[in-house]
Copies of this chain bind each other. A is one copy, B any other.
Amino acid sequence: MSREKDFLDGKKSALEQLTKATSAKQVDSGIQPILNIINNSDEFYTTSSCFGRIVILEIPTIGNKKEAKFLGKWHRSIELNDLLSAIKKAKEGQLWILSQSPIIHITAISDYAADKILKIAIACGFKNSGLKSIGKRIVIEILSTERLDAPIGKNGKVFCNNEHLDLLVKISNEIIEKSTLKLKKLEKKLRKGLSI
């Protein structure tokens, strides 16, 4: 099969999955307009995305994602009380707070198209963006640099006082706010840059 035929088959299947996920409210609404712009272009389709999130996790060792247990997850800014309610549930292993910026995976029809969308993403501040594959399928990851990955307790004991937790909430929210601004900029630039 040609690369173009693969692309068209892949796009059909990805859009069907996106429609199902949207119906099941599994797609972050804040990122939906950007997905629409990308998927309306003949050169691209999206395969996965996240608006950005703040999470509280318990994990036995770093990188051991399979064993991770979510105690809290928000696709929005949080209050100290949100954090306090989540960390109350801590029992065993390392307790972490993570604040993650948005991530979008996109398949492109050509190297030229991939380079174009990569340049737009980097210009909008998504400086950790890159191509994950240029073999049979060309996959772009749009990703920003801001993040917080902080261990805050162990085996049910939280090490931080409220002043420290307040700082963690403030910085986590700043990451979400910065992400929102960058996504708005990206939406505007993609609307212009991907128009036919």
Contacts and interface: CB of A to CB of B under 8 A. Distances in A.
A118 interface: yes
A23 to B, nearest CB: 31
B151 A150 contact: yes
A151 B167 contact: yes
A132 interface: yes
A124 interface: no
B145 A147 contact: no
Nearest to A175: B62
A164 B63 CA distance: 19
Given A149-B147, A149-B149, A171 B94 contact: yes
Interface in A98-113: 111
Interface stretch (A39-47, A76-84, A153-161): A153-161
A48 to B, nearest CB: 15
Interface of A: 61-63, 94, 111, 114-115, 118, 130-135, 141, 145-152, 154, 159-161, 163-164, 167-168, 171, 174-175, 178
